[in-house]
Amino acid sequence: MACGISEVRYLNSEKEGLTAYLQNGYHGQMKYMENHFDKRLNPQLLEEGSKSIISVLYNYYPNQKQTDPNAPIISKYAYGKDYHQVINAKLKGFFEYIQSIGGEVNGRFFVDSAPIMERAWAKQSGLGWIGKNGLLLNKEFGSFFFIAELLIDLELEYNLEQAKNYCGKCTRCIDSCPTEAIIAPGKVDARKCISYLTIELKGNIPAEFKDKMKNRVFGCDICQDVCPFNKKSQAHLEPEFIPNKVLMDLTKDEWYHLNEEKFTQIFKKSAVQRTKFSGLKRNIDFIKDIKDNPVEFSSEL
C-alpha cells in the first residue's frame, strides 16, 4: 500500500515518552513492553549492521459489515486470516526481491514480532503523524492499516521530510472513547482501552466497564471509525482478508451461545485465536444483559 525509508539510528526523541509510559503503568499487564528497552530505541541491537529501516503500511479496511447490527462486534482487522501470517509472507517476498536486485543483502522483517517502535519509525519515514488516539494517521489512507518493518544493511535514500500533523483542533477520537482511555492527545492508558480489556487483559474485566464496552468483544475501532481521515478509507484488495461469511452472519443469539467447537471452526486461522475460546467467552458474557458470575480468563497470551 505504501512504504517509507529511514536511516537506522537511536530514537532519542522517543526515550522520554516510553519511560514515562512504563513508569505510569499505562501498559497494564503487557509486561513484555518493559523488556528490551534499549532495543526498542535502537534497531541496530535487533539486527547488527542494519543501516535502513523500511516501514510498510498494509491496508485492511473491509467493504463487508457484520450482518446483525445487534451482534457482538469484533475489530475490522480480525475479519479475515491472521494478519501475522499474511503480511509475513508478503515481507518475505519483498525481502527476497530486494536481495535479487541488491546482491548480498542481510536483514530481518517484522510484523508485531519484535520490540520495535513501529509507529515512531513510520512517522520518521514520512508515512504519517501520531494522532490524538495514539495511532499513525495518513492524510490519504486514514489509519486502517497494519505497520510492518524490514531492517536491512543497505544504505538507501531516506525520507527526510516528516508528515505534517493535520489533527488540528479535532477531538472526535477523545470525545468518542467510551472508557476515556485517551487521557491526553497522543496518550492512551491501555488499562482503560477496550482493545486491551478484550484481548490483552487476563482475569476478569473490571466491573466499572460493564456499561461502557459498546458491544465490543474483540478489539474496538471506535476512535478510528470517528476519525475524519478514515472517511477516505478504501476497501483492501487482499483475498486473505476477506471474512468468513459464517462469521459475518452470526446473529446476536448465536454469539451468545457460541461453543468451543463453533469457535474453532469459525476462527481457525483468525487473529481472534489470540484470546482462545475462554477469553472470547469471557468477553461475550461480560456484555450480556445478564447477572451471571463473571468468566475467569486464564489462557496465556
Measured in residues, the chain has a length of 301
Q: Are 159 and 6 in contact (CB under 8 A)?
A: yes
Q: Give the residue numbers annotated as catalytic, written as ranges.
A: 112
Q: List strands edge to edge, sheet with 107-110.
A: 2-7, 52-59, 145-152, 107-110
| Pairing of the two strands 129-130 and 136-137 | antiparallel
Q: Quote the cell numbers at residue 148.
A: 510492518
| CA–CA dist 22, 32 (Å, integer) | 11
DSSP SS3 for 176:
helix
Q: What are phi and psi of 60, to 5 degrees?
A: -130, 10
| CA–CA dist 71, 261 (Å, integer) | 19
Q: From residue 174, give the alpha-carbon distance in Å to each of 126, 147, 182, 185, 289.
A: 24, 23, 6, 8, 27
What is the residue type of 222? Answer: I
